[in-house]
Each structure stands twice: as C-alpha cells, then as structure tokens.
Amino acid sequence: MSERTIAAISTALGSSGIGIVRISGERAVEVADRVFRKHSGKKLAECPSHTIHYGYIHDGETMIDEVLALVMRGPHSFTTEDTVEFDCHGGVYVVKRVLDTVLRNGAQPAEPGEFTKRAFLGGRMDLSQAEAVMELIQSQNEYALQASVRQLKGDVSEKIGQLRGDILHQLAFIEAALDDPEHYSLDGYDEKILDFAFRMEEELSGLIRSFENGRRMTEGIKTVIVGKPNAGKSSILNLLAGEERAIVTDVAGTTRDVLEEDIVLDGMNLRLLDTAGIRDTEDPVESIGVSRAWSHVKDADLILYVADSFSGIDEDDRRILSALDSQKTIVLLNKTDIEQISEKEINGISDQIRSVLGDFSPVLFSAKEKTGLDELKKKISDMFFAGQISFNDQIYITNARHKKLLDEARESIRLVKAGAKNHVSEDLYSIDLMDAYEKLGLILGEEVEDDLVDEIFRSFCMGK
C-alpha cells in the first residue's frame, strides 16, 4: 500500500449545504488530529472507528470552520485505509481553505480517482467494480444507473468469474490427463471440448451483444427526426422534450446552432441529434438531401420520419423514405386529429399509404392532441430492448475495455473450436484456453499492467 496519506475535496465545488474533505492513508487520523479540535478536547486517535465528532478546524490559532469529523479505520473504509472525512460548510472558499490546511499538516493532494484506485489495490473491489464507480457517477438515466450499480455490486465480476471457472475446469482436466493417463482418459475429448467451446462462444457472444444495448443505455439512442417542412417535426420534438423531464444540452465544441437534446421516454434515453436543423422550417424539400439533419441519418440508431397525414403522402415522401433504412425507421403519420382516421379508414387508405410506405409500419400520431405517444414508446422499446423496458436479470456490458477483452477471449475459444474439429493435440487446447482465461482475468484487473491501471483511474473525477 502507498505510504502517502492523501486528501481531496470529494464534493463538487459550489455553494451548497456541505462540502466534504476526505483524508485517506496510514496517517489520516494523525493529520486530522492536527487540524481538528473536538469540543471535549479528546483526540480522534482515541475515538472508536465509525464514529462522528463535532468540532472546529483550526489553522494554527485561526479558526476556519465548524465541522463534523467521521473516523473510519481500515480495512473497513472505502479505500481500505484509515480515513477521516470532514463535513464542512459547503462554500468554495471555506472547503478549499480546509483542504489547504490539511495539506499543510502532512497530507498530499490526491490524484483523480486515487481513492477508488486504493480501494482496488486494497482488494476491496476488482477492476470492473472500480470502473463501475465512475459509470455510476456519470449515469444519466435509469438504465445506465442500473447497469452500473449492478456492476458495482459484482454481477459482471461474478459472471466473468463463473466463465473463468468453467475454462479452468477444462484446463485442469487436460493437465491431469496428460500427467496421469491411467486415471484420466482423453478418449472422445475432442467432442467434449467442441461442445464446451460452442457453449462458451455462445455465452461470450451474449455478453458482447449486450454491449450495444449497454451503449444505448449509457449514451442514449441516437435519434433523428426527418420529414418535409410543416409535417410537424418541431411540434413532435417539443412534445417529446416536454414529456417528462427534458435535459437540454449545448454540446461544447460543436457549431453553435447544432444542438443535441437528451430526452427520457419511459426510462429510455433518446439523444436527439441536430435539433437545430429540425427547427429550421425554412429548409425546402430539395435541400433535405443535404440538410444537416440528413448527415446524421447515417449515424442514427433511430429515425423518426414525420409525414403529414392531412396533406397526404406524396412523391417527395416516397423519395425520402426510399433512402431510409426501414429497420431503423418509425413513420409517424402526424396530424391525424384533423381528419379523424379510424382504424377502418386507415386500412382503407393503407393501399395508397402502403404503396409509399412499403416496409415501413406507421404510427397514427397527433402532436396537437398528443395521441400515438404510447404506441411510439412501445415501438422504440420493441426495437431496442426487445420490449423489455424494465431491467431484467441480464448482465449488461457497458465498458469498451471489457467488450474488447470479451472479443479477444471469444477469438481464443474459436481457435479451440477449430482445433477440436481438426483433432489437434490437447496441449494446443490448453494454450488457447489459457489465453481466454487470462483475457477474462484482465476484466477483473488480474495481472493488468500498472500503466493501464493508472490510465483507467486518471479518467475519474477529483476526490473519488
């Protein structure tokens, strides 16, 4: 363990109720006692672990703040080291002043993520759980929150551990059979290992597939709204954005009028691209082909095509639709409030509509009357989450590092499969199995290089 005793402000800087200065390391309590004066005069060093104490922070004779001090002795703390937290008043100057005093009394400034890195190095959590800490902090919706909190709890670790256990079992059997052929026979093992490799490949593929869903959970479903001018795109955007809490983001570093809006629909996060383009109603049909919204279409996970059911669907709609991927597109037949189109009539006009729509199945919509919203939500959920809006027991991979290692492990398992088909010698299986075993181990942080560990924790926020 590191000899440095570290300190940082662990809350966001700003005016708030409290701000927390955290100290961790061998000398945490000693450092805290130098700056903290408890009402009773007692030292924190004399107080039991997991107790809270009222008192003042002093810089020499200058009183700085009235605080609560929390004492947690290792290994029963987040970092597994002795830890003291000061709950200060949450002003920018006062919290910085408390930290400064702590640093001048023996602590050193913590690097970003250093507290969590110590939790990892101290064996309190594996690397995938440590990574989940940051994902949890950054989560913006229910899916991202659930995926990260489960990963933090150890669901991903458990699954990976189980797969590694299965691989290890095969490795041990091969080893035993090669060492002691009298008691362990490798007769017919090719079929057994082939069967094993099939199942393992399937398991790994399932986890890899979940990454795409995971990306949509954490980053949102990339969505564009397309349609002719006046079809009702802005109205629908406003309706969707107004539905439940809307978070409006100006994306830094992009052109000033290009906006992204994150909206949450029934727990699903839609990242609406180029909403400035959508609002630009001057855009004539001819320019749709080159409009900014169009340039996002290729990139999108979901395209909402808005057609004006009142004015009718025409050649222009046909032209635009023919360029869209029907798998990714939901057609909203908007303005159905103007002429009440019953189910029967829709079937009636469906010949005309269907000739234009082809594979696209429409949702009858009215931005004005707010109808069709439930069907739209259902379609999106069917499209991306197989209808499972509620979080099920499936494990979701949300981290690109994990996905890459799973890909590599699967590659090794495929080599085992190919080997078994060609009846290669057993020690070749061992090499590939061991490779898959190690790759999966890297997800948990086994044998990872120090540089990589440093890189992972550098992306953490200060004080975590």
Shortest distance in whole angstroms from residue 304 CB to ligand GDP: 11
10 Å CB burial of residue 399 (0-12, 13-18, 19+) is buried
Region near ligand GDP per CB under 6 A, out of 14-22, 50-58, 109-117, 223-231: 223-231
Using CB under 6 A, which residues numbered 356 to 385 contact ligand GDP?
Answer: 366-368
Q: What gap in Å lies between CA 283 and CA 444, rounded to an integer?
A: 51
Q: Is 233 in the site for ligand GDP (CB under 6 A)?
A: yes
Out of 5, 77, 291, 334, the only residue in the binding site for ligand GDP (CB under 6 A) is 334
Out of 227, 267, 372, 445, the only residue in the binding site for ligand GDP (CB under 6 A) is 227
Exposure string for 10-31, b = 16+ CB within 10 A, e = fewer: bbeeeeeeebbbbbbbebbbbb
Which residue, among 460, 382, 432, has the nearest Cα to 193 in the 3D structure? 432
Q: Is 19 in the site for ligand GDP (CB under 6 A)?
A: no
Q: What gap in Å lies between CA 424 and CA 438, rounded to an integer?
A: 22
Out of 108, 205, 234, 326, the only residue in the binding site for ligand GDP (CB under 6 A) is 234
Instruction: Please give the torsion angle defined by the CA atoms of residues 157, 158, 159 and 164, in that order, rounded to the nearest 10 degrees.
Output: 90
What does the per-residue mask of binding to ligand GDP show for 267-286, with x meaning CB under 6 A? --------------x-----
**Is 303 in a helix, a strand, or coil?**
strand
The encoded tokens of residue 199 equal: 């199942």
Q: What gap in Å lies between CA 317 and CA 226, rounded to an integer?
A: 10
Q: Which is nearer to ligand GDP, 368 or 414 (CB)?
A: 368
Q: Is 338 in the site for ligand GDP (CB under 6 A)?
A: yes
Count of positions on this chain that bind ligand GDP (CB under 6 A) = 16
Which residue, among 25, 14, 31, has the nearest Cα to 100 in the 3D structure? 31
Shortest distance in whole angstroms from residue 335 CB to ligand GDP: 4
Out of 112, 229, 424, 438, the only residue in the binding site for ligand GDP (CB under 6 A) is 229
Using CB under 6 A, which residues numbered 410 to 439 contact ligand GDP?
Answer: none
Q: Which is nearer to ligand GDP, 281 or 355 (CB)?
A: 281
Q: Which is nearer to ligand GDP, 338 or 395 (CB)?
A: 338
Q: Which is nearer to ligand GDP, 178 or 338 (CB)?
A: 338
Q: Which is nearer to ligand GDP, 362 or 419 (CB)?
A: 362
The encoded tokens of residue 154 equal: 């150890």
The encoded tokens of residue 111 equal: 């690097």
Going across the sheet that includes 221-227, the strands are 246-249, 260-265, 268-272, 221-227, 302-308, 329-334, 362-364
- Give me the DSSP letters along 56-104: EEEETTEEEEEEEEEEE-TTSSSSSS-EEEEEEEE-HHHHHHHHHHHHT
Q: What gap in Å lies between CA 342 and CA 330, rounded to an integer?
A: 20
Out of 28, 231, 288, 364, the only residue in the binding site for ligand GDP (CB under 6 A) is 231
Q: Is 399 in the site for ligand GDP (CB under 6 A)?
A: no
Q: Is 243 in the site for ligand GDP (CB under 6 A)?
A: no
Q: Is 291 in the site for ligand GDP (CB under 6 A)?
A: no
Q: Is 337 in the site for ligand GDP (CB under 6 A)?
A: yes
Which residue, among 7, 5, 3, 4, has the nearest Cα to 463 in the 3D structure? 7
Q: Is 259 in the site for ligand GDP (CB under 6 A)?
A: no
- Residue holding tokens 């080599």? 415
Q: Which is nearer to ligand GDP, 2 or 230 (CB)?
A: 230
Strands 329-334 and 362-364: what pairing?
A: parallel
Q: Which is nearer to ligand GDP, 366 or 412 (CB)?
A: 366
- Site of interaction with ligand GDP (CB under 6 A): 227, 229-235, 281, 334-335, 337-338, 366-368
